[in-house]
Amino acid sequence: MERKILLHERDIPKKWYNLAADLPSPLQPPLGPNGRPITPEMLAPVFPMNIIEQEVSTERWIDIPQEILDILYRWRPAPLRRAVYLEKYLKTPAKIFYKDESVSPPGSHKPNTAVAQAYYNKAFGIKKMTTETGAGQWGSALAFACNLLGIECKVYMVRISFDQKPFRKLMMQVWGANCVASPSNETEFGRKMLKELPDTPGSLGIAISEAIEEAVHDKTGKTRYSLGSVLNHVMLHQTIIGLEAKKQLEMVGIKKPDVVIGCAGGGSNFAGLAFPFVADKIHGADIDIIPVEPKACPTMTKGEFAYDHGDTACMTPLLAMHTLGHAFVPKPIHAGGLRYHGMAPLVCQGIVEGLMRPVSYHQLKCYESAMIWAKTEGTICAPETSHAIACAIDEAIKAREEHKEKVIIFTYSGHGLMDLTGYDAYLSGKLTDYEMSDAEIKESTAILSGLPKPPAKKTGKW
Amino acid sequence: MERKILLHERDIPKKWYNLAADLPSPLQPPLGPNGRPITPEMLAPVFPMNIIEQEVSTERWIDIPQEILDILYRWRPAPLRRAVYLEKYLKTPAKIFYKDESVSPPGSHKPNTAVAQAYYNKAFGIKKMTTETGAGQWGSALAFACNLLGIECKVYMVRISFDQKPFRKLMMQVWGANCVASPSNETEFGRKMLKELPDTPGSLGIAISEAIEEAVHDKTGKTRYSLGSVLNHVMLHQTIIGLEAKKQLEMVGIKKPDVVIGCAGGGSNFAGLAFPFVADKIHGADIDIIPVEPKACPTMTKGEFAYDHGDTACMTPLLAMHTLGHAFVPKPIHAGGLRYHGMAPLVCQGIVEGLMRPVSYHQLKCYESAMIWAKTEGTICAPETSHAIACAIDEAIKAREEHKEKVIIFTYSGHGLMDLTGYDAYLSGKLTDYEMSDAEIKESTAILSGLPKPPAKKTGKW
């Protein structure tokens, strides 16, 4: 019985897969302030043109430059592992596989796109990248990538995380990034916020605004902004996860999985594993594809499919996505990476088409699952990842009850070694569950009423 | 060019290698309070007899039980990696390989023996294991092993680390261990210490005494103590590192390395990689084998080869080893795992025979090397590991100057994700170097004058 399925370096995928080429109906375009589709030129002050080209591409396969592979080889191909110890514990006939993205130096799937984005920025002549980060997963991934490529990196970190979670900040500093607490004195918007709300803990919305401002205002034109999820090019870069996984399943004689699972905050981890399997589903394969989110931030399961801004300050274009409204502030839960009001448009279009089946989980159940995982497989998972594990356990139990030898695969999106305070809160009984009521959803999404509506009809058979 | 050399699960070593079988002169026996060699029976209240048998064994090869392999498969065989990015940075003709022990769930080589010890204790009918831990590497490894095997685990953690480094304590709790600050109210010795020194930060010496006391005083006879380094059986369990590495070097056509390097605190990480190569050296191979220690705790390079106690309270038998004296308290340096006054007797006998060439490094140089590593290979290493990296870099530069295509191999003993405060101190310029003067060495080792002396003559040709 094979516990680790290891792909040889030479067999790493050489192209990314673009779901936009295969979606039954085309993606709704992002809209500008005038309500009309934005042009690539309008994004040029924010992103380098080679990335904008990927953002709007409908090519099915896009070459991965050799220079990017040369960096990814540090930890890729990532292992596909079989959770034999968990299977035994659950007495399930299901085979549970997980793609281990925790093996990257920053400890999550995030560097797959951070490296690609840093590479394209460098190729476009950019000298400095700015970004925001919440708990620090994304900021540390971009710091890591910029350090290897010799690009300056500036990270605006939400103040409360900056103060309370020093370790990811320290990782960024080891990798040479300049990490500042947001709101900061370094941007106009930051200074304005500090004047109005001197004691604000900060927010991802404010941090995004600061990072974009710094990029756009740099007079040399050599600074650009970077986003770690949501956008099409980010999903694209993450598909290396699922493309590797498909090859690895084939290595152990599995033609297709029955269930594909990923936790979804902005959508990139889920998309990375799932999109290559979504392609198979579009072409007839019977696969249950499940993005998992917290009940405290139920974007896909309870949000509206609408045009909305990606940030609180309404600086970004309008994206057609499931959303809880751009002013939504989720209750504090420990899976910081899953606390986002929106979701990647490519994932949302897939949901509209019925290609994916989103589910939501309570955090206590997720921590329970994480503890079962630590007891059986032995590793300590990220709180985000625990959502995928909770769902995988449920599916494995269902397979047991149905006496079916299902193949289940999920992404182990990151380790939890920097997130132990969440476990502490759980173990000392301080965590509670929270589910948004219908009235709260209605209140939160009321902000969308003045914005354009995308068509939300199903065109396929799924 | 191969960056990762991956051994198949079926090719994992099935036996450990015991250097005691091949040492040119036999090991000096541990001595009891009466100055005479201790008997296995004298150790029986502390360790289970199956482990004591391994401790005194001179068999060359000892079978690894299948049940232990079934646990180790979670992360073993561990990858052998080639540091191609560092080689390029250094412009060296040397090939630098490193055995990556950071991939274990607790993040270091420690679980290799923790799993074996927990297994043997369980097989002997033991229900609870006690141990001490400083910064927490060893405590978390034993907690991990006990959790998987269903044994109770009690860890006495030095109070200052317990208070200042909560994360490894949290890891232990996730793995179900009971971790208490030492000195504690749970033992006689702890209560005595708290009464005499209510504000003491604790010490490894005190914590060892507490852990041994709890094991020895358990009236059910179902509790035993566990040590994470120094002893022969610990070295034995770690040899799986070097045995795997030899197979992996053979896979890329390398018959023997020229230089073998490991950092050494109690000696188990170094021994794990080095001992299988020491065997080759005894049989004629030309290999430079280098244990690396901090200049602030220069046990091997400046200590005496003498009989000394393993703990401060003189509860352990006398061991023949290089030592700075059992009352030695090293200056605070960030490589907590390298702050021990003694060294494994098997390593020390190898040094006496001239089979190994110990060197010492300053911590600033080690952190510099860790930063070069983060910039090139991309990962953040443990402060202990940085000592091996500093030495590997020096050896690679020497190879460049000598125009020699040397093969260098070292253990990447652990990641530094739980040790980022050390990097913070380094990056903010707060770290200093410290080297023990000859007068200080003399003062520190004066305590040995009343103890028996082992013969320290070289018998071999090395």
Q: What is the largest distance, in Å, between two alpha-carbon atoms of chain A?
A: 64
- Taking the Cβ of residue B354 and every Cβ of chain A, the question of whether any pair is shorter than 8 Å is answered with no
CA atoms of B113 and B232, how far apart (whole Å): 11
Q: In chain A, what are the domains?
A: 76-107+232-448 (3.40.50.1100), 111-227 (3.40.50.1100)
The residue that leads in pLDDT, B205 or A263, is: A263
Nearest-by-Cβ selection for A167 from B107, B375, B420: B420
pLDDT over 90 (residue B38): yes
Residue A180 has what pLDDT? 97
Please give the residue of chain B at the shortest CA–CA distance from A76.
Answer: B4
Assess contact for A108 and A385: CB atoms under 8 A.
no
CA atoms of B121 and B49, how far apart (whole Å): 9
CA atoms within 13 A on the CB side of A341: 27
Residue A289 has what pLDDT? 98
B167 and A4: CB-CB below 8 Å? no
Residue type, B282: I
CA atoms of B208 and B313, how far apart (whole Å): 9
CA atoms of A126 and A48, how far apart (whole Å): 8
Query: CA of B358 to nearest chain A CA: how many angstroms apart?
Result: 29
CA atoms of B146 and A72, how far apart (whole Å): 35
Q: What is the largest distance, in Å, between two alpha-carbon atoms of chain B?
A: 64
CA atoms of B367 and B361, how far apart (whole Å): 11
* pLDDT tens string B19-29: 999 999 889 99
B148 and A375: CB-CB below 8 Å? yes
- Taking the Cβ of residue A146 and every Cβ of chain B, the question of whether any pair is shorter than 8 Å is answered with no
Q: How open is the CA angle B426-B427-B428, to the nearest 5 degrees? A: 95
B105 and A3: CB-CB below 8 Å? no
Residues facing residue A157 across a β-bridge: A133, A181
What one-character DSSP code corresponds to residue A31? Answer: B
Positive or negative: CA dihedral A216, A220, A226, A231:
positive
- Taking the Cβ of residue B417 and every Cβ of chain A, the question of whether any pair is shorter than 8 Å is answered with yes
Residue B337 has what pLDDT? 82
Residues 16-55 of B with CB under 8 A from A: none
| pLDDT per residue rounded down to tens, chain A (462 residues) | 679 999 999 999 999 999 999 999 889 999 998 889 999 999 999 999 999 999 999 999 999 999 999 999 999 999 999 999 999 999 999 999 999 999 999 999 999 999 999 999 999 999 999 999 988 999 999 999 999 999 999 999 999 889 888 899 999 999 999 999 999 999 999 999 999 989 888 888 889 989 999 999 999 999 999 999 999 999 999 999 999 999 999 999 999 999 999 999 999 999 999 999 999 999 999 999 999 999 999 999 999 999 999 887 788 899 999 999 988 877 777 777 888 899 999 999 999 999 999 999 999 999 999 999 999 999 999 999 999 999 999 999 999 999 999 999 999 999 999 999 999 999 999 999 988 899 999 999 999 998 999 987 777 787
* pLDDT tens string B270-329: 999 999 999 999 999 999 999 999 999 999 999 999 999 988 778 889 999 999 998 887
Exposure letters A387-415 (e unless 16+ CB within 10 A, then b) = bbbbbbbbbbeebbeeeeebbbbbbbbbb
Q: Which residues are within 8 A (CB) of A410 and not within 5 positions of it... i.e. 6 or more apart?
A: A96, A97, A98, A99, A260, A261, A262, A273, A388, A389, A391, A392
Residues facing residue A414 across a β-bridge: A108
* CB-CB neighbors (< 8 A) of A377 in chain B: 74
Torsion of CA B101, B103, B107, B111, to 10 degrees: -60
Residue B237 has what pLDDT? 98
A176 and B375: CB-CB below 8 Å? yes
For B371, the enclosing helix (H) or strand (E) is helix B363-376
Residue type, B168: R
A420 and B167: CB-CB below 8 Å? yes
* pLDDT tens string B185-199: 999 999 999 999 998
- Taking the Cβ of residue A380 and every Cβ of chain B, the question of whether any pair is shorter than 8 Å is answered with yes
Pairing type for strands A223-225 and A128-133 reads: parallel
Residue A337 has what pLDDT? 82
* CB-CB neighbors (< 8 A) of B6 in chain A: 6
B173 and A423: CB-CB below 8 Å? yes
Please give the residue of chain B at the shortest CA–CA distance from A115.
Answer: B378
Nearest-by-Cβ selection for A9 from B3, B103, B379: B3
Nearest-by-Cβ selection for B4 from A2, A9, A174: A9
CA atoms of B79 and B5, how far apart (whole Å): 6
Mean pLDDT of B344-364: 97
CA atoms within 13 A on the CB side of B336: 21
What one-character DSSP code corresponds to residue A272? Answer: H
pLDDT over 90 (residue B2): no
* CB-CB neighbors (< 8 A) of A418 in chain B: 417
The packing angle between helices B166-174 and A420-427, to 10°, is 60
pLDDT over 90 (residue B216): yes
Residues 183-222 of A with CB under 8 A from B: none
Q: Is B151 strand, coil or helix?
A: coil
Token look-up 């990034």 returns A177
Assess contact for B329 and B158: CB atoms under 8 A.
no
What one-character DSSP code corresponds to residue B178? Answer: E
Residue A56 has what pLDDT? 95
CA atoms of A120 and A272, how far apart (whole Å): 19
- Taking the Cβ of residue B89 and every Cβ of chain A, the question of whether any pair is shorter than 8 Å is answered with no
Nearest-by-Cβ selection for A170 from B74, B144, B420: B420
Query: CA of B346 to nearest chain A CA: how many angstroms apart?
Result: 31
Output the six-digit token pair for B428. Answer: 């903010």
Residue A33 has what pLDDT? 82
A77 cis-preceded (ω within 30 degrees of 0): yes
* CB-CB neighbors (< 8 A) of A107 in chain B: 417
In terms of phi and psi (left: phi > 0; alpha: psi -120 to 50; beta: otherwise), the region of A416 is alpha
Please give the residue of chain B at the shortest CA–CA distance from A426.
Answer: B174
- Taking the Cβ of residue B175 and every Cβ of chain A, the question of whether any pair is shorter than 8 Å is answered with yes
Residue A239 has what pLDDT? 98
Angstrom CA distances, B436 to B200, B336, B369, stand at: 24, 17, 22
Token look-up 């993205």 returns A101
Output the six-digit token pair for B390. Answer: 């500093």
Residue type, A457: K
CA atoms of B54 and B58, how far apart (whole Å): 8
Assess contact for A326 and A311: CB atoms under 8 A.
yes
* CB-CB neighbors (< 8 A) of A371 in chain B: 174
Q: Is A389 strand, coil or helix?
A: helix
Residue B462 CB-density burial (10 A; 0-12 exposed, 13-18 middle, 19+ buried): middle
Reference A390, options A262, A238, A255; nearest CA is: A262
H helices of A165-297, in order, are 166-174, 188-196, 204-217, 232-238, 240-251, 268-282
Exposure letters A83-94 (e unless 16+ CB within 10 A, then b) = bbbbbebbebeb
> Looking at B3-53, which runs of residues are DSSP E strands?
4-5, 15-17
Residue type, B273: L
A417 and B171: CB-CB below 8 Å? yes
- Taking the Cβ of residue B375 and every Cβ of chain A, the question of whether any pair is shorter than 8 Å is answered with yes
Q: Please, which pLDDT band fits residue B232 given cuts at 50, 70 and 90?
A: very high
A378 and B144: CB-CB below 8 Å? yes
Residues facing residue A85 across a β-bridge: none
Q: A–B: how many Cβ contacts below 8 A?
A: 88
Reference A95, options A254, A240, A280, A287; nearest CA is: A254
* CB-CB neighbors (< 8 A) of A378 in chain B: 74, 105, 144, 147-148
How far from each other are the two terminal CA atoms of chain A, in whole angstroms? 35
Radius of gyration of chain A (CA): 21
Output the six-digit token pair for A377. Answer: 């497989």
Exposure letters B386-417 (e unless 16+ CB within 10 A, then b) = bbbbbbbbbbbeebbeeeeebbbbbbbbbbbb
Strand order in the sheet with B80-82: B4-5, B80-82, B95-100, B407-412, B259-263, B288-294, B359-361
Query: CA of A426 to nearest chain B CA: how many angstroms apart?
Result: 10
Output the six-digit token pair for B9. Answer: 């699960």
Assess contact for B212 and B156: CB atoms under 8 A.
no
Please give the residue of chain B at the shortest CA–CA distance from A177.
Answer: B375
Nearest-by-Cβ selection for A378 from B3, B148, B377: B148
- Taking the Cβ of residue A245 and every Cβ of chain B, the question of whether any pair is shorter than 8 Å is answered with no
Residue B456 has what pLDDT? 75
Output the six-digit token pair for A285. Answer: 């394969």
pLDDT over 90 (residue B179): yes
What one-character DSSP code corresponds to residue B411? Answer: E
What one-character DSSP code corresponds to residue B19? Answer: G
Q: How open is the CA angle A250-A255-A260, to the nearest 5 degrees? A: 95
- Taking the Cβ of residue A374 and every Cβ of chain B, the question of whether any pair is shorter than 8 Å is answered with yes
Token look-up 């009971």 returns B178
Residue A320 has what pLDDT? 96
* CB-CB neighbors (< 8 A) of B418 in chain A: 417
* pLDDT tens string B74-84: 999 999 999 99
Residue A244 has what pLDDT? 98
Q: How open is the CA angle A426-A166-A385, to the nearest 5 degrees? A: 45
